[in-house]
Amino acid sequence: MPNVSPRWREDFPINWEDDHYVTRREFTTFLTLISGALLLGTGLVGLREWWRRWRAIRPAALHIAQVSEVPVGGVKLFHYPTPDDPCLLLRLSADRFVAYSQKCTHLSCPVVYRAGDQQLHCPCHEGRFAVENGQVLAGPPRRSLPRIVLAFRGEDIWATEVEG
């Protein structure tokens, strides 16, 4: 009996296995596309950083609180220089205010104020910063917390600049 292919074979001439077969050249093309995607991802991170830096070059002064609003030992959260940058305003004594970025310099977890220890504490990896100057006291962070420069105009407290 002669080997006659069925009628449907004319409409579906490609085997399932052949359709799913990936040649090495195709696989290399796929790898190159992934390389492009990784470059795109890295480029986006770079662009985002460039954008953040460009926006933060000369931040405008921001009114953050009134003196009477924060009790001694109290904390107020604000955002400076952009809405994506949380910061802490601390009142250490009646006439002493300090402010720092709330992002831990290790992996950007938010730090919290511990009045008992006079430290800023990062609960993620136990990083600790001195409340007086923002310097690292313990844990994995290697850089001090960025300090927010404050200005006082009467009863008003303004953030004017980021240091560090």
Partner 1 sequence: MTDRNLHASIRPRETPALLRQQRNTVLALVMAFVSVLLLIQLWLLVQAIEGASKGERAIVFPVTLASSLCFLGAWRLWHLLQNRQ
Site residues (CB under 8 A) for partner 1? Answer: 24-25, 27-29, 31-32, 34-36, 38-39, 41-43, 45-46, 48-50, 52-53, 103, 105-108, 143, 146
48 or 96: CB nearest partner 1: 48
Q: d(Cα 118, Cα 47) in Å, to the nearest integer? A: 38
16 or 21: CB nearest partner 1: 21
Q: d(Cα 7, Cα 111) in Å, to the nearest integer? A: 73
CB of 9 to partner 1, least distance (A): 31
CB of 81 to partner 1, least distance (A): 13
How would DSSP label each residue in the chain?
A: ------GGGGT--S-HHHHH---HHHHHHHHHHHHHHHHHHHHHHHHHHHHHHHHTSSPPPEEEEEGGGS-TT-EEEEE-SSTT-EEEEEEEETTEEEEEESB-TTT-PBPEEETTTTEEEETTTTEEEETTT--EEESS--SPPPEEEEEEETTEEEEEEEE-
CB of 104 to partner 1, least distance (A): 9
114 or 125: CB nearest partner 1: 125
CB of 36 to partner 1, least distance (A): 6
CB of 112 to partner 1, least distance (A): 18
104 or 157: CB nearest partner 1: 104
63 or 125: CB nearest partner 1: 125
